[in-house]
Structure 1
């Protein structure tokens, strides 16, 4: 785990950027506190900061140059099956000087080039400079676990694990209001291609790019991995066989992610996913360390009793970090400072603190991320399943929309949250499957976004909506929804949140459910194996039946919520006034001040609806704009 940055000049003007490499590396120190390095040759600079997990010696430091001097590599992430690959290479006569996965990767690439990518198991984004050919090779992992941003014009290609390293090279920073509109709907930026800053992009997951400057600026990208489609009926395994395979694959994925030269622990929320990961990690590791976060000031949001129940059952060395409202508010500055792309999933605040406290005990933590998207574990998956039943219950909720609109709905209590869910269900039930997916993914309609943005009629469009919902048909099954979640929610929201909050605190996080062997197998299973009436994550629960306390299999999913509405109306009210006042908004000239005022009024009403998420999204954007754009 680490961070990377660098630049590749296409002409003399482009070379003027290269002297900024040390400034760029400094912006990434938090991601890699164990060391840093740079490399320069002709029109190329590479930079790296290191979080040492595998082979702690300086022999594994980066940028790493091959023994023949032809290739130089920087990588963010890790190749987990490097030992297996090393044995294969040693059988071909390759000699190694270190015990690192970095040296294995560069040796493998030197022989197989892009064909090495399907052999890699891990989370990674890497860049290799070929001194002989004068080219740059860029690649990213299958599911976008590790980030790779880049800026591209006719003079230079600049890349980095975070946009702040790219900013350090001195690029121009013009905002794309089209992408801002997508952000204001989702509260994160979808990682299809374009980023918020014009001419800056997300390198696509499962894709490699070769960059050359022999004739002119040239980049050629090719896909090396894509999610598999569901199997043909005759290839579908029996349910009993599938449960055995799922258990074996997940177990293998956990054991592979226990490989480390530093101490490994587990994030344990008390939910099904993290509990399964903990059980598998603990079976050969006496008293493994587990970590959860509790909210003694807000009992509705506190689920530590379930985590403690699992920890006791599995005999782990459990750590509960009891966090007060003041602790959360004190952590806001570090959260805002790390944002170089607007990101407003409020649960990131809790994750930031969890990662900070966990790092005091271990350097690597396993997580249950990805299971909801694979096995149909979220509320919206059950809601989509129920709508497609066309039963009396669904029809009743749908016709009750006028009542749900009157009643107060938000996440502040059990009753209000249920009203919020009923309202969202009823609205969605009146839409097509694709429109419903996009509506449930976000917080604002097209009309609302058009009113919010200056010249919103021009900038608000359905480009990304069409991209992410193109595979959702009216007569399809829930696998289409899960596939869309893997493309949109997992990469743009969950992976970004986990990467940014863990690396902000110098903590490496590994996600066994995102092992490609697990994903490829589960994605090909029928939707009926994953969800049935009243039973989400059907095959996951049955695969690991009896492993955990019975209550863990049956309790309702709560999620990683925080008391955001309460804070916005109290402790954060001063920030709202500072950043969303009429004078500031008119000088900024991005948002319609009148519409922002309407959203603020809705927040303080008895029926705040989506205004909580929308105000938080606006606050985060304003902080991003001040920290990254204005200055």
Structure 2
């Protein structure tokens, strides 16, 4: 696990920017605190920051060259099946100087070319330079676990693991207003766009090849979802469960390879408990880590985590946090973010990563299961809306009541009212529009009102609609929940969940591995019919059923609820001056020239009223953006 950056220059003007290579790797030091390295040729500069996981010796340092000196690689990630790949290469006469997956990756590319990507099982972003051809080959893993940004102009191509490394090269800082408009709705920016014009996220499962002055970008993997094959799946439900257990066991076992201490997150939910149960088959006294919330007992799930830890005799650690602990880390998170990203649960992930890193360097997590197997409340809501019936119609008929009752994520009743209101509204929408409604915190109309009228005129409505259409292209009026999950894999997972974990773990030099996102598991998941994943009584049905024999029964007897950071309390107390006197003050808004002062005032008035509803999520999104703006745009 590391950080990479680099540049390919087309001319002398482009070569001038190679001098910024070290500054770019310095900017991402936390991704790789163990060492750094640089390679410069006539038209190329490659930089690397190393977090040592495999072969801790200098033999594993990067940039790494083949024995002829023709090829050079910088690599971020892990290839979990590299021992098998290495063995096959050795049988063909290849020799190796290290025990790293990096060298295997390089030799495999030399031996097989672009097609070798399909043989890789892992997560990665890498670049390989061929000095003889003066070509550069850049690729990203199937699911987008590891990030990679790319900037192109007439003089050069620049790439890096994080935006701060891109900015160190001196790229233009031109705000993409459509990305900002998306952000105000979602609290994150959907790729391949970024907050800056000209900077794109290389799509997961894509490669970019520069040769003879030409740039080619191409998909090498797409999730193989075929409705007809799903409908004709020959496996019985019992057979599907057995296959899932087999694939997950293999995925977990592959991810236990490490030359440094390894552990697993254990939240007390089904997903992380599955990972711990399977890992314990292959590792005695696995290190496991949970977060407890002293001040928020409604969200504390440590007793369920302890049941799993006791069952599998793990070496279990609970980090018991107060709201003050969370508050104390707010600015650590805000200062590390280099593109607006306002999933507030990043605060908890940051602390979990920080505390976990004190004991291990690698941690397994259950990320991806909800998107693959329909684990979110929104999936159940969407499913029930599609089914219709008396209960659904009754909730719709009571829309006027849901509109006036208090709503909040921080209490059981308030959260139910919030869900009922969203359900009732969703009943009136098409499948595409309902998906967008369930994915966003703010609807298009309210998000647009935040802009000054002069900014709205330059927003780019056609470009916005084009991007939105692309996001929703796989959802059809006659489709089912599998289409929702397929879209979630490309929108929510790739742009919210995975970046959150990558950013917060890398901010603490911790590697996080995600067995549910092994491509064998993902491919299998999208051969399963909707009925195997969800029904009117159960979300994530096949996961719950397949692993029931391995898990404590108590895990099945309580509702799932994710942790909600107490933003509202902070906004009304500790963070109030930051809102009223600094980031959302009239003076700052006027000077910035982006947002409408009156609309911001309305948001603040609602925030401090007796019925703030879910306004805190919107306010947090604005705070994150404004803090980012002050750091990177002023």
What range is the shorter-chain TM-score in? over 0.9
Tell me what 1:88 maps to: 88
CA contact (8 A) 1:450 1:457 kept: no
**Could you report, residue by residue, the CA deviation over 1:127-146 in whole angstroms, capped at 9, with x for unpaired residues?**
11110111111100001000
- 1:118 matches 2:118: yes
Matched, 1:517 2:553: no
Query: 1:194 is matched with which residue?
Result: 193
Aligned to 1:271: 269
SS at match of 2:327: helix
Question: What count of residue pairs does the alignment treat as equivalent?
Answer: 626
Aligned to 1:139: 139
Corresponding position of 1:16 = 16
Find the counterpart in structure 2 of residue 349 from structure 1.
347
Query: Does the aligned pair in 1 maintain the 2:371–2:485 contact within 8 Å?
Result: yes
Preserved contact between residue 236 and residue 525 of structure 1 (Cα < 8 Å): no
Measured after TM superposition, the shift of residue 291 of structure 1 is 0.5
From 465, 469, 473, the counterpart of 1:466: 469
What 5-or-longer segments of structure 1 have no aligned partner? none
SS in structure 1 at match of 2:486:
helix
TM-score in terms of structure 2 length: 0.97
Offset at residue 37 of structure 1 (A): 0.3
- How far apart, in 2, do the equivalents of 1:458 and 1:309 lie? 56
Separation of aligned partners in 2, 1:113 and 1:474: 42
* 1:313 CA drift (Å): 2.0
* Deviation for aligned residue 1:458: 4.4
Q: Identify the residue that residue 227 of structure 1 maps to in structure 2.
A: 223
Partner of 1:480: 483
- Residue 563 of structure 1: CA displacement? 1.4
Q: Match for residue 562 of structure 1?
A: 565
**1:616 counterpart = 2:620:** yes
Counterparts of 1:55 and 1:64 in 2: how far apart (Å)? 13
Task: Give distance in 2, aligned partners of 1:171 and 1:457.
Answer: 26
Once the two structures are superposed, the pairs formed by residues 320-469 of structure 1 within 5 Å of their partners are 320-454=318-452, 455-456=455-456, 458-459=458-459, 461-469=464-472
Deviations 1:548-595 (A, max 9, x none): 111212421111322122122222111112100111001101111111
**Pair 1:294-2:295 in alignment:** no
Residue aligned with 1:322, SS: strand
Report the Cα distance in structure 2 between the residues aligned to 1:235 and 1:421, rounded to whole angstroms: 34
Once residues 333 and 107 of structure 1 are traced to their aligned partners in structure 2, the CA distance between those partners, rounded to angstroms, is 43
Shift of 1:457: 5.1
Quick check: 442-451 or 266-275, which moved more?
442-451
For 1:417 and 1:607, locate their aligned partners in 2 and report how far apart those are by CA, in whole Å.
14
Q: 1:529, 1:235 → 2: CA distance?
A: 11
Distance 1:146 1:94 in 2: 28
The 8 Å contact of residues 48 and 74 in structure 2, kept in 1 or not, is answered as yes
**How many Å apart are 1:305 and its aligned residue?**
1.6
Structure 2 CA distance, aligned partners of 1:165 and 1:569?
35
Match in the other structure for 2:545: 542
> Match for residue 584 of structure 2?
580
Hey, what's the Cα distance between the residues in 2 that align with 1:439 and 1:6? 39
**SS of corresponding position for 1:291:** strand
Alignment of 1:35-74 (within 5 A): 35-74=35-74
Answer yes or no: is 1:553 the counterpart of 2:556.
yes
Q: 1:52-86 deviations in whole A, cap 9, x for unaligned?
A: 11111110100011111111100111111100100
1:249 alignment partner in structure 2: 247
> 1:381-421 deviations in whole A, cap 9, x for unaligned?
10011111111111111121111111111112111111111
Counterparts of 2:381 and 2:557 in 1: how far apart (Å)? Answer: 17
How far apart in 2 are the matches of 1:609 and 1:128? Answer: 51
Residue number in structure 1 paired with 2:601: 597
Mark the CA change 1:404 to 1:122 in structure 2 (over 3 Å): closer, same or farther: same
Whether the 8 Å contact between 1:301 and 1:563 is mirrored in structure 2 is: no
Give secondary structure in 2 for the equivalent of 1:300.
coil
Q: Give 1:608 deviation, angstroms.
A: 2.2
Q: How far apart are 1:228 and its partner, in Å?
A: 1.0
Deviation of 1:452 after TM superposition, in Å, equals 0.7
Partner of 1:210: 209
Distance (Å, rounded) in 2 between the aligned partners of 1:568 and 1:603? 8
- Give yes or no for contact 1:398–1:425 (8 Å, CA) kept in 2: yes
Match of 2:183 in 1: 183
Please give the per-residue CA displacement for 1:308-349, whole angstroms capped at 9, x wherever unaligned.
222122211111111122211111121011111100000000
The answer to whether the 8 Å contact 2:20/2:168 transfers is yes
- CA contact under 8 A between 1:407 and 1:607: conserved in structure 2? no
Please report how far the alpha carbon of residue 88 of structure 1 lies from its aligned counterpart in structure 2 after TM superposition.
Answer: 0.8
Consecutive unaligned residues of structure 2, counting only runs of 5 or more, are none
Query: For 1:514 and 1:352, how far apart are their aligned partners in 2?
Result: 21
**Contact 1:129–1:135 under 8 Å retained in 2:** yes
In the TM superposition, what whole-angstrom CA distance separates every residue of 1:512-531 from its partner, at most 9, and x where no partner exists? 00000000001111011111
Q: Contact 2:409 / 2:614 at 8 angstroms: preserved in 1?
A: no
Q: CA RMSD in A?
A: 1.2
SS of structure 1 residue aligned to 2:549:
coil
Contact 1:347 1:562 in 2 (8 A): yes
Judged with a 3 Å threshold, the aligned counterparts in structure 2 of structure 1 residues 457 and 444 are, in CA distance, closer, same or farther, namely farther
Question: Take 1:450 and 1:150, find their aligned partners in 2: how far apart are those partners?
Answer: 28
Q: For residue 550 of structure 2, give the secondary structure of its aligned residue in structure 1.
A: coil
